[in-house]
Every structure is written in structure tokens, then in C-alpha cells.
Amino acid sequence: MMRLPCWKNGSRTCGRTPYIHWSLQSGTSLSFPTKIIKIRSLCAISRNTRSRSTPYISGRCNRMGSLSARPSNDTLECSARSSIITKRQRRWKSQLLGDAQPVLPRPLTGATPKSALQLYQLPKTGFLSYLPSSWVPYAELVRLDKPTGTYYLLFPCLFSTLLAADYSVAPPTTVLTTSILFSVGALIMRGAGCTINDLWDRNLDPHVDRTRLRPIARGAITPRRALVFTGFQLLAGLGVLLQFPSSCLYYGVPSLLLVASYPLAKRVTHYPQFVLGLTFSWGAFMGFPALGLDVLTNIDALRAVGALYASCVSWTVLYDMIYAHMDIKDDAKVGIKSIALRHAEQTKFILSGLAVVQIGLLSAAGLAVGAGPLFFVGSCGSAAATLSLTIWKVNLKDVKNCWWWFKYGAWLTGGGITLGLLGDYVYTLQCSPPKTPDVAHSEKDAST
């Protein structure tokens, strides 16, 4: 049982073990290197009801109660506001909440100074700061404050939609509606993927500095509630999928297997980024059937979708390899596998090869459907330029630099490809009137 020092009226409350008396309030959290506990919205570290002289941290708590934990290398977090009065208590408060490194109790002596104590506070700025405090953990769970992953999930959908629109000369209103639906679906399904990932990693995240304050890892959301929340997210995603033509249902549902299997891949292979690529690139299959084009009966569409999907997989492995370098030290300690660990010394060489493969396959997708010069110059050319710049400039040993290129690389590369496809589609609209997908498909069959 972990016990924290506390003095009452200048004297210890127990002759053998000192304690700290806390009253806890929702809003901030303290991280100790102890085992994770599950905490409700409001609780208090106080005297145990079974022993007045032995206050301790107890397991679960309701509105008011006690918390408990056993020492380990994981993280314990709870909302806290100090009610210390005496001089010694104020000294401990400054050590726990101030900038100085605290003198930790004996059960915690194995912790490193960097990770021994960490303060969590509710967001003060941004979108999350306007949400009720009870909603914040769920918003953090789906990464509403970090939308980069949503962009990466959305871009393959946009690539496929615009490529199909250029091929079939689809009406602009249909393309716009389809793109909006894909945006909503990407937001929902990325959130579901993050929740599933955090459920898988709930015992690993506390060991990694970047992830130790995630809602499940810090105990703000229980695994059971996260599982129920995932169910609602998947139902919402199904609702969006049903807005597309019925054939999209057969293309979209199989992606759930990949969503659930990616976290497992980190435990069994050094190439989980490839599994992530298969998952995040699934939108490349969706654009053509969303606009009414049957990929299985149209050989040109099938070739384009296959090349585009493989291109997006290469791109995903590329940017996630950069992302993996942010956690490379922590991953090595806790046994998480990644391509960054496997090929740490050859990373930029591999990134260069992935970029060449991505651009080559993207060009093949355009050739399959007869894309115009704006696609090859705008999409393929911008991808070559931005990827070259990223690989040249990224400092793989600097966490902040890796994050910068990962975050803005979505817009540099993904945005450039999208603009090239959009430009080629607009040019095609000016050269020929919009057609319905059935008309475009029948004309293509007649020409062949």
C-alpha cells in the first residue's frame, strides 16, 4: 500500500508512516509512478473509514472517498487541490505542485526525476476549454484537440473521390456532398480507432511520456466506458456509411478488421506502420463506388484504385515512420515494436524509397483513368517536392521537429495532391458537361 506523508497540527498522524491529507477536486491531476487507478469525477484522499489513524490512497472512489494503489512503474492520477495548512504541509505542497523536484516517499524511489511527478490540468485554451469538464476526457480520447490523424484518414478518400469525379465527370454538387460525408466519417472513425488503440495500450501508455496522460491511461475513463463509447462511435460511422450507395457498405465494413488489428501489430511485428497504412488508406477504395462506379466491373477503375491504394499505403508508412521516431526510446523500453526501431540507422534511405514508390504509384493511378496534365504536374509534382523537402529537413532525433513535419506534412503533401486532382477535375468540367455515373460508365464500355 502506498502512503504519502502528512502532518496534522505539526505532528504526524501515525507514528510509523507520515501522510499527506488531500481534498480532491475535478480539474487537475497528479501523476505518481504507481499503479493506475480508476477515479470518478470527484473524490478525496482522506482517512480510511476502517482506521482513523491510517489514511491512505484507496482503489476506487465515488463522490467522496479514498483512493488506494500499489507501488509500480505505472501512473496514478487524481484531481487534486491541496488543503495543507501547516508549514511542513506547505513545504510538501510546493514540492508536489511547484517547479522543484519532490522528495518522494520510499515506495517511489525507483522513479526517474523526469517522470516521477507530472501535473495534469484541464485545457485552458482551444476547443476543449469550452466543453464541460466531464466531456473533456472523451474529447481527448478521440483526439479532437489533435486533428492531424483525421486529415491523414480523409485525404485518401478525397484522392479517390476526385480521381473518380475526373474520370466520370461527376456533377460538382455530388462531389461536394460526397466529400462532406467522407469528412464526417473520417472524424468519427478516426476517433473510434483512437479509442480502440488506447484500450489495447492501456497498460503500455503509462510508460511513455507522450501518452501517459491519455484519458484511459490516467484513469479518467474506465475501459468499460471506453468500450461502450466505441460502440456508439461505430454506430455513428455506420450511419454515415449508409448515406452512400449500398455498394459502399461492402467496401467499408471490412476496414473494421484492420482498425482493430493495428494495435496488436505493434506487439508482434516491427512493421506495424504497414498495417496502419492498410487501415488509413482504405478510403482509396471508397471514392469510386461512392460516385456510382463499380470497381469490380470497370477494369480502368480497378487499376486506378489498386495503384492509388498502394500509393497511400506507402505514404502512410512514410509519415508514420517519422512519427514513430518521437517515441523510439520509450518504445524500446516497454517492448513496442516499430519500423523506426528496426531500421533506425537507415530511416532516411527507407523514407526516400517510400516516396519514390508513392509518386510512381500515384502516377500509375492517373494513367489508368486518363488524368490530364494538371494532375501529373500538380499532384505528382507537388508530392515529389514536398516529400523531398520533408525527408531532407526532418531531424529524426528531435521530437518537436518530427512532430512539426508529421503535422504539417499532411497539408504539404496531401493538400498538394488534392489541389492537383481538383484542378484537373475543374478543367475536365470546362471541357465537357457533367455526366451521371451510369452514362459515363456506358460510354466507357462502348469505347472499349
Kindly report, residue by residue over 203-246, the tens digit of the pLDDT. Answer: 888 887 788 888 998 888 999 999 999 999 999 999 999 999 98
Q: Is 17 left (phi over 0), alpha (psi -120 to 50) or beta?
A: beta
pLDDT at 433: 67
Domain positions in the chain are: 7-96, 140-447
* Helices (H), ranges, 70-220: 87-97, 136-141, 148-168, 172-200, 215-218
SS3 content of the chain, % helix, strand, coil (to 5): 60, 10, 30
Contact between residue 75 and residue 112 where contact means Cβ atoms under 8 Å apart: no
What is the per-residue pLDDT for 118?
A: 52
Q: Give the model's pLDDT for residue 435.
A: 58
Handedness of CA 280, 281, 282, 287 (dihedral sign): positive
- Which pLDDT does position 98 carry in this prediction? 43
Cβ distance 193 to 279 under 8 Å? yes
For residue 352, give the C-alpha cell: 526516400
pLDDT in tens, 352-400: 999 999 999 999 999 999 999 999 999 999 999 999 999 999 999 998 9
**Under 8 Å between Cβ of 352 and 343:** no
Amino acid letter for position 109: T
> How far, in Å, CA of 121 to CA of 98, rounded?
14
CA 97 – CA 161 distance, rounded (Å):
51
- The pLDDT value given to residue 85: 37
| pLDDT under 50: residue ranges of the chain | 1-89, 91-117, 437, 439, 441-448
User: DSSP letter string over 44-100?
Assistant: ---EETTEEEEE--BS--SSS---B--EEEEEEEEE-EE---SHHHHHHHHHHHSSS
| Domain range 140-447, CATH class | mainly alpha
Q: What is the pTM of this model?
A: 0.71
Query: How many angstroms separate the CA atoms of 159 and 130, rounded?
Result: 34
| Exposure on the CB side of residue 36, measured as CA atoms within 13 A | 21
